[in-house]
Amino acid sequence: MVTTRTPLIAGNWKMNLDHLQSIAFVQKLAWSLKDAKHDYSTVEAVVFPPFTDLRSVQTLLDADKLHLGLGAQDLSAHDSGAHTGEISGAFLSKLDIRYVIVGHSERRTMHGETDAVVAAKVVAAHRNGLVPVLCVGETAADLEEHGPSAVPVAQLRAAVADLPADAEIVVAYEPVWAIGSGKAATAEQAEQVCAALREALADVLGSDSAAATRILYGGSVKSSNIASFMREPNVDGALVGGASLDVDEFASIVRFPSHVGV
């Protein structure tokens, strides 16, 4: 079976930009990509603003008929109830949000999210018609103790265990040791882990699901190194952190086919 996976470039803004700044940013990004005649059918571009920005960005995308995708940075495992401060996937789906990041390394480390919590959030996303962008990855200590791919594969298996085989997901491999360091994994390192993740997906959800699932690399991605990652057969895009806050830089990453000859 031959499956063509549309590359996905996802910009995780983390806790940056208020709702007014986000409107200006998205307008400028959309204009920049339009000026460059970007074809969104060849590379999908999605922004993940903070919760307080989502309605403003959604309104702008809808009113101006912009083709940028919209995602949220997290969701609750619960759909409603006495969960102060939590955000329901049902609420997100009402905002025409398509994607939601689940299990980001910062949530795992700073908020103590276990594999069980991440798995419950993945199921909640699917239950509400959202596509989870499941983040998996290892710390420097994990890498030294277990070697490449062992920890990310274990995290993936735990997270998707309760999903139906036909559920749409995106997987993002983020080597925690590379995030924010300015030192990305090599393309070969990323490919090795992404290939192992695809094998695990095939084992848990079946070969069709594994072939269709996009696997992203995340960890100090820049316009200067995106080409090397995108040449690898099992890397289908990038989860971009810091560089996604620079309009020109992020637009350049989205436009990787036009200037790298991939």
44, 106, 138, 174: the active-site residue: 174
Residue 249 a catalytic site member: no
Residue 232 a catalytic site member: no
44, 104, 113, 232: the active-site residue: 104
Task: Quote the CA–CA distance of 85 and 249 in Å, as a whole number.
Answer: 33
Give catalytic residues, as residue numbers.
Answer: 104, 174
